[in-house]
Amino acid sequence: MVIERCFGLLKSRFRCLDKSGGTMLYSAEKACQLVTATAVLHNYCISRRIQSCIDSAVVERDAAIQPSTHSAQDTAGFNAVQLRRAVIQQF
């Protein structure tokens, strides 16, 4: 169950893992590399306190409850661009 939850978490954060519908799109070696890469990125996001898609959905839901001049999607997209630029500059 722990492994299934782990894959579910990775698939929710990295949608590229969830496109197959249960079929292998890549060789076993390539699939292993993709899962390893997304696990590394996931751990990086945790260490940097970068929100996942699940966390963003909660933020968007809460933003929808409170009136705002910007839509939650615009704000999330803007924050994602800022975050990406900061990571690029840092590394």
Distance CA 90, CA 43 (A): 17
> How much is the average pLDDT of 87-91?
78
pTM value surpassing 0.85: no
Q: Which of 7-11, 65-69, 78-82 has the lowest mean pLDDT?
A: 65-69
pLDDT(70) > 60: no
* One domain for residues 44 and 2: yes
Same domain, 55 and 24: no
Mark whether 45 and 55 lie in a shared domain: no
The pLDDT of residue 85 is above 60: yes
Pick the closest to residue 7 from 41, 30, 39 (CA basis).
39
User: What is the domain count for the chain?
Assistant: 2
- pLDDT tens string 9-66: 888 888 778 776 777 788 889 989 999 999 999 999 889 888 765 555 545 555 555 5
